[in-house]
Amino acid sequence: MAPRNNLFDTPLPDYVERDIVPSLIDHHESDEEDENAIQNHSALKQWVSTEKTIIVWRNVFIFILLHLGALYGFYLCFSAKIMTIICAFILYIMGGLGITAGSHRLWAHRSYKARFPLRILLAIFQTMAFQNCVYEWSRDHRVHHKYSETHADPHNANRGFFFAHVGWLLCRKHPDVIRKGKDLKMDDLRADPVVRFQEKFYLPLVGLICFILPTILPYFLWSESLWNSYFICGLFRYVFTLHCTWLVNSVAHSWGMKPYDRRINPSENLFVSIGAIGEGFHNYHHTFPFDYSTSEYGFKYFNLTTGFINVMAKIGWAYDLKKVSPEMIKQRRLRTGDLKMEHQW
Ligand code: ST9
Ligand code: ZN
Ligand code: ZN
């Protein structure tokens, strides 16, 4: 059924479907095309940069404080009201969906389309996760896919586990990230009023949605202390969500099975997928980045985000969900997959 349009839901311009979406589909039809891409890519990977790492001490200081606050919040969980713990959990899922269903699968990859109310909801959730605005998050993520594990990848896993996990947020970006990032097509995000609005008012919105609301809701709704609410639903929940996200860049780029493409680092990691509500099937995702499920298996195996998008599709808020056909997966597995590695969970 064709999606209904209304005043707020003007479709994105034609060039988004014509130029931008195909550029996000990093998939090669022929072996030869694929081999060329791999050759170019490995040359980039092997290039040794002489750039010095410049640490941003302000960020180091803020992250240390944040983690001390989060640890204290964890300690307070043992004396807080049960409703406060449940609330922190729900906020983690909401913020998580803002990242997974929002900035990742919708805005960075355009793996499905979302109507205006869903885009608003996802932008609110994404702000709750405070991981940079949708525009910046998606630009870093597009450059991560296009130049994965080279110096143009913001969280280049070849610079070590710590760098891929959090270190990249504690130092200046490699000039290649910015250079290559500027060549990316980003007009689709510029054309989305929800993305523009969130970027314009990002910091005040973060203050309100990520910290103030999680602090005052438990206080007003079940008389939790403001102290407990701030440290548990604010800081602890925020830092927990950050680590669940960062695990995808560190752990899922290091350990796990590679049933779809044995030549790349991203791997299938169930442990990461549970914490990252369905985003640990990273070998599949880097092989077929345009699949809305980021996995061969739909909702199966704790892919909560896929379940959420499926429900949104049922009520008509999500549509044009892109899914790779079983035949295409099979062909790709035969060509590049590690065939010894069947899914074993
Ligand atoms: C956070 C992000 O945590 C986490 C993202 C994780 C991604 C995971 C992906 C995995 C898949 C999805 C799984 C989801 C699972 C979720 C599970 C949930 C349960 N292209 O930035 P500046 C320009 S954030 C083009 O200052 P520096 C930029 O526009 C945490 N251009 O670079 C600017 O231009 P102009 C909270 C680019 O100075 C200029 O460059 N946030 C690009 O090197 C300078 O930009 C923080 O901690 C690009 N890609 O500083 C903030 N990038 O001058 C941390 C930049 O014209 N960030 N530009 O305006 C910072 O403090 C700084 O960015 C920095 C680098 C210190 C890291
Ligand atoms: Zn991705
Ligand atoms: Zn990745």
Q: How far does residue 334's CA lie from ligand 3's centre (Å)?
A: 22
| Confidence tier at 62 by pLDDT (50, 70, 90) | very high
The whole-number pLDDT of residue 159 equals 95
Give pLDDT, residue 2: 45
pLDDT exceeds cutoff 70 at 342: no
The string of pLDDT tens digits covering residues 12-48 is 666 676 667 777 766 666 667 776 676 666 666 666 6
The ipTM (two decimal places) reads: 0.98
Q: What is the DSSP letter of 256?
A: S
Q: What is the pLDDT of residues 208-228, one digit of tens each?
A: 999 999 999 999 999 999 999
- The answer as to whether 287 is a domain residue is yes
Question: Of the residues 24, 53, 109, 169, which should be mutated to test ligand 1's pocket, given the most ligand atoms within 8 Å of the CB?
Answer: 169
Which residue owns the Cα nearest ligand 1 atom 11? 248
Whose C-alpha lies nearest to ligand 1, atom 57? Answer: 169
185 in a domain, yes or no?
Answer: yes
Residue 183 has pLDDT above 90, yes or no: yes
b/e string for 149-178 if b means 16 or more Cβ within 10 A? bbbbbbbbbebeeebbbbbbbbbebbebbe
| Separation between Cα atoms, residue 107 and residue 18, nearest integer Å | 16
Structural domain includes residue 306: yes
Number of domains comprising the chain: 1
Q: What is the pLDDT of residue 44?
A: 65
pLDDT of residue 8: 60
Look over the chain and give the mean of its residue pLDDT values, rounded to a whole number: 91
- Cα dihedral value 271, 274, 276, 280, nearest 10: 50
Q: Is 138 in the pocket of ligand 1 (CB under 6 A)?
A: no
State the pLDDT at residue 39. 65
- What average pLDDT does the segment 1-16 reach? 58
Is 345 among the domain residues? Answer: no
- Res. 322 pLDDT band, cuts 50 70 90: very high
Question: What is the 8-class DSSP label of residue 113?
Answer: E
Structural domain includes residue 187:
yes
Q: Is residue 135 part of a domain?
A: yes
Which of 1-5, 215-219, 272-276, 281-285 bottoms out in mean pLDDT, i.e. has the lowest?
1-5
> What are the residues facing 318 on neighbouring strands?
114
The whole domain housing 283 covers: 53-336
- Model confidence at 1, pLDDT cuts 50, 70, 90, reads very low
Give the predicted TM-score (pTM) of the model: 0.93
**pLDDT at site 121:** 98
Cα–Cα dist 16/121, whole Å: 22
Closest residue CA from atom 23 of ligand 1: 178
Is any ligand 1 atom within 6 A of the Cβ of residue 200? no
pLDDT digits (tens, 9 = 90+) for 304-321: 999 999 999 999 999 999
Please say if the pLDDT value at position 345 is more than 60. no
User: 3-state DSSP call for residue 328?
Assistant: helix
Question: What percent of the chain clears pLDDT 70, i.e. is strictly above it?
Answer: 86
pLDDT class of 151 with cuts at 50, 70, 90: very high
Nearest alpha carbon, ligand 1 atom 39: 178
> Does the beta carbon of 189 lie inside 6 Å of ligand 1?
no
- Cα–Cα dist 95/206, whole Å: 11
How many Å lie between the centroid of ligand 3 and the Cα of residue 80?
37
Q: Answer yes or no: is the C-beta of 149 below 6 A from any ligand 1 atom.
A: no
Q: What percent of the chain has pLDDT over 90?
A: 81
Say if CB 312 and CB 103 are below 8 A apart.
Answer: no
Is pLDDT of 127 > 70? yes
The ligand 1 atom at the shortest distance from the C-alpha of residue 248 is: 10
Q: 103 lies in a domain?
A: yes
In a domain, 25, yes or no: no
